[in-house]
Structure 1
Amino acid sequence: MSHIQKLLFIIALLSSSVAFGQLTEDPEDRRDQGKDPFKTQTVDGQPLPFSQRLRFGGGINGFRFGNPFSLGVSPVVGYQATERLIVGIGGTYNYTHYKAPYYTPTTYNQFGVRGFAMYEFIPSILPNLYLHGEVENSSIQVKDDQTSRSNSVGVTAPLVGLTYSQPISRRFGVNLTALYNLNYNDPQGVSQYIYGSPLVIRLSFF
C-alpha cells in the first residue's frame, strides 16, 4: 500500500469516526445554549438512533385501599416517534379483593397488554401536556373465595384522557395520567369491579 493509499485510508477512517460521533452526540448539549434538548435528533440535525429514542419504565394504577383493596403495576416501553408524539406498548397486572361482610369475598386477577399514543398538542402554551389514548386488552380471572370456584373473562377497554409529564432527562420523566374508560359499562360488568370508576388515574415513570 502506497503512502497516498495509507493517507486516504486514515482520512476515511477518521471521517467515519466523526460521523458516528455526530450521530450519537447527546442532544442535552443544547442546555448549554439555554434551549431544551431535541427528542429525535442531535444538536446538528442528525436523526437519533432507534435505541436512543426508546424509553423504559412503568408505574402503578388502580390503587384503592380498604374494602375493596386494589393495586396494579404497568411496565411500559415507549418510543419517541416525533418531537411531540410518543407511542408505546405495556403490560398490566391488577389485583383486586373484595371482603365480607359488605361483599361476597371475591378475588380478581387482571392480566393485560396495551398500546398507547401520547401527543403534546399545545407545547407553546402548556408544554409537556399530552393527549393520551390507549387500548387495553385484558384477561381477568375471577375467584369466589367461599367456594373456590373461578372463571376467566376477557375485556377490551379503550381509554382517552390527558398525561402531564415532568421531564427528568431527555428519555425519562414522571407522568401523571387521567383516563376515561369508554367501556366501563361492559356487558359482563367486570370493568366496574376492576376499576371501581370510569376514571383511571395512573402514576408512571418513563
Structure 2
Amino acid sequence: MNHIQKLLFITALLSSTIAFGQLTEDPDERRDKGKDPLRTQTVDGRPLPFSQRLRFGGGINGFRFGNPFSLGVSPVIGYQASERVIIGVGGNYTYTRYKAGYLYANQGVTINQYGFRGFIMYEFIPSILPNLYLHGELQTNTYQQKIDQVAGAYTGTIAAPLLGVTYIQPISRRFGVNLTALYNLNYNQNDPISYQVYGGTPFVLRLLFF
C-alpha cells in the first residue's frame, strides 16, 4: 500500500468514526410526532447549544480516473447557522498524475496540492426540494509540480471562487451524505498552471459525509 492509499484509508476511517459519533436523535424526539427535527432549536423554541450545531466529517474529492488520474481527501467542519444556512471550513489534499504524452511527449507530471476553503450553503427551495443547497466557496491551493526526469519541483499558490449546488441526504439531525457539484470561476484552460492544478476541467465534484 503506497502513501496515497494509506492517506485515503486513514481519512475514510476518521471520517466514518466521527460521523458515527454524530448519529444522535433530536432532543425532543420530533420524529415521533411526525415532524422533521429542527436544526437549530428545540420544539419549544430553545436554541440548541453551539456544540449541537456543529457537523464534522470528510470524504473524497477531485476524483478522476484515466489520464489524468486524480484523487483527494477533504476533512470538513460545518456549523448550522440557521435552519437553512450552513457555514464551514475545510482542508484538502489532492494527488494528480498526468502520464507521459498528455502534457509532455516523453515525460509525466505529478502534482500534489494542499488547500484550505471556506464555504456557505443556503437551502433555497425547501418547500419544493428539501436539502438542496446553493453552495459558494473560496478555495486556495498550494501546489507542487514535479516533471519526470527533471530535477527540482515548481511550487506556487492559486485561489479560486467556486459556485454550485450541494444535495444532502440526511441520516440524522447533524449528519448526512453530501454530493456537491461546483464550477470553478477562476479556471483558465489556456493557463498551464490552472489547467494542470484543476485537472483540465472547471468542474469540481465531491462526495462528503458530514
Q: Report the TM-score range of the alignment, normalised by the length of the smaller protein.
A: 0.7 to 0.9
Alpha-carbon displacement from aligned partner over 1:156-184 (angstroms, at most 9, x marks no partner): 01000001110000000001111000001
Residue identity opposite 2:37 in structure 1: P
C-alpha separation in 1, matches of 2:194 and 2:90: 19
| Equivalent in the alignment of 1:118 | 121
Paired with 2:143 and 2:28, the residues of 1 have a C-alpha distance of: 43
Segments of 5+ residues of structure 1 without an aligned counterpart are 1-24
Alpha-carbon distance in structure 1 between the residues aligned to 2:187 and 2:132:
25
Following superposition, the deviation at residue 186 of structure 1 comes to 7.7
1:144 to 120, 143, 147: 147
Which digits, 9 at most, give the CA deviation of each residue in 1:123-181, with x for residues without a partner? 00110000000000111111112113201111001000001110000000001111000
Which residue matches 1:190? Answer: 193
3-state secondary structure, aligned to 2:170? strand
Which range is displaced more, 169-178 or 58-67? 58-67
Q: Is the 8 A contact 1:67 1:99 kept in 2?
A: yes
Please identify the structure whose Cα radius of gyration is greater. 1
**1:80 paired to 2:83:** no
Answering whether residue 62 of structure 2 is matched by residue 62 of structure 1, we say yes
2:132 aligns with 129
TM-superposition CA deviations, 1:176-200 (whole Å, max 9, x none): 1110000011885323213221111
TM-score norm. by structure 2 comes to 0.82
2-structure distance, mates of 1:32, 1:170: 14
Task: Provide the TM-score with structure 1 as the length reference.
Answer: 0.84
- CA distance in 2: counterparts of 1:194 and 1:172, whole angstroms: 31
Distance in 1 separating the partners of 2:118 and 2:100: 36
Name the amino acid aligned to 1:79: Y
Which residue is 2:6 aligned to?
Answer: none
CA RMSD of aligned residues (A): 1.6
Partner residue of 1:172 out of 170, 175, 190 = 175
Tell me how far apart the structure 1 counterparts of residues 162 and 182 of structure 2 sit (CA, whole Å): 6
Q: How does 1:39-54 map to 2 (within 5 A)?
A: 39-54=39-54
Please tell me whether the aligned partners of residues 27 and 38 of structure 1 are also in contact (alpha carbons under 8 angstroms): no
Count of residues in Structure 1 that have an aligned counterpart in Structure 2: 182
Of residues 72-81 and 103-112 in structure 1, the stretch that sits farther from structure 2 once superposed is: 103-112
* Percentage of matched positions with identical amino acids: 69
Quote the Cα distance in structure 1 between the aligned partners of 2:189 and 2:101: 26
Distance 1:27 1:82 in 2: 17
Q: CA deviation at 1:98?
A: 1.1
Cα distance in 2 between the residues matched to 1:48 and 1:102:
53
Q: Summarize deviations over 1:16-44 as a string: whole Å, max 9, x none.
A: xxxxxxxxx94460001100000001122
CA distance in 1, matches of 2:208, 2:28: 23
Q: Deviations over 1:50-108 (max 9, x none)?
A: 00000000121111112221101110000000000000000011000112244431110
Higher relative contact order (CA 8 A, sep 6+): 2
Q: Distance in 2 between matches of 1:72 and 1:200?
A: 11
